[in-house]
Structure 1
Amino acid sequence: MQDNRDEREVPATRRVHGVDQNVLVDPPGLGLSEPLTRVSDIAGAADAAIDLLAGLGVEGPVDWVGNAFGGHVGFALGARPGVLRSLVAVSSPTQAVAGPLRARIRLLLPILRAAGPVGPVRSAILSTMLTDASAAREPILRVVEEALARPTRHSLALAVQSFSLNRIDVTAGLVDLRVPSLFVASDNRGDWTPEDAAAAAALAPRADLVTIGAARTLVLLAQPEALARQIRQVWERSA
């Protein structure tokens, strides 16, 4: 994460003080964020999120919705008193990347650095993010491919290294997650099964679990209506 904090992270925040405010934030080094120039981590991204909220003039706790890495940032923010009012963590594994997936990322990372998201790298990213049925839907595929095309090769590789390859196990810290939380699992993500999500939710004092079918990592693209219903229910309970 750059010191100027311009590459602000991940999810959407929502504040209700008479008027709804929704903010969609690109991850560090991805989307429309400035390029990453060095390896970052979740703690740095959480610090940047605090700066972001202050810069937006947000006062008081917010509702944080994070998909994948955005959920990891939410885990960190939820342990900090007074930052969050609620958390929705979507497809956000709490354990470190397992051996076989770690080996695959290490194998493909040099190709990503040299040539970008092409060939086997593109195939690996799409198969991780989308089910075959979702990837066959042109509007969904276009969103993902356009997102991959925005960052530089160097920035994209640093983001993968920082937030995928270097992902750490945060399971032990879930006991400090004191805000109302919803862990959203999908039925088709191998490194965070519904059983994994249930075990994680059982550790957090105020967490519930829901599984959304026919989705992999990008639940928000594959099943937007189902996810929106779950988010609204969390916000209604915490209002």
Structure 2
Amino acid sequence: MTIMYRCKIHCTIPERIVDASTVYRDLEPLLQALLEVSALFNGWVEHSRGKGPIPFTDRTRFIEMLAFNARQDGDEYPTAPSAAGAGANLTTARTHKEWKATGCTSINYWPWFGQLTMEIDAPIEAFGESEASVIVRRCIAAIAQTVDVEFVSTDAVGPKPEGKGYQTYYLNHRLFPHRRWLGWMGFVPVLVPHRFIPEAAKMEVVKGRGTIIVAVDEPFDLHNPDHIKRAHQVELRMANAGLLDVTDTSLLE
């Protein structure tokens, strides 16, 4: 069986400075959509600064906590990008023990940084070898349906070949050091016919939003050269189609 410590969905979103109430309103439809994907995506909390976990369902306290955090960060780091805005760090782990639970999931939403991430621990053990890819794809669809996203990619984290430490697709295997990357699967906010990227294992239209592109339609194995090759082939096609923006022009010099 493929060993995957975790997978991480990276979303690029428009940079916005928003208040705590807006952060809550932004996240509400996403969490509802994720609950329809799996019952594991439930019981979301944020661990407050000194008052324990605050449930997302406790709207008033949750918004007050986000506002307090934003004010505190603004006072302590007035020149930081986050100084004027709120964000959220959600998890399904309400206790220290639950951080180690199979399928423990975290969402970091930082509008001021233009980023949303969703990290699922041990997705194969949580959902099974045959369903893990389906669940991750449905998570991407839920994000695309409820969040204004500019690009989505998915990283896989697993053991190094020698067994000590870990490796990721992004750090150790991505094709382009100077461009966006897709990894296991992702999303672009345009309609892309499958014939444009024939190497993709699956393409799925998110109505009115764009296209999910799946490089490998099974748990991504960082030890499988065919998986790495397929991801590279898909990313090369995407780059040629103008779907992988350059992120570091200094590497082109």
Please report the TM-score for the alignment, with normalisation by the length of structure 2.
Answer: 0.28
Please state which structure has a larger fraction of its residues in helix.
1
- Larger strand proportion, structure 1 or 2? 2
- Length-normalised TM-score, structure 1: 0.29
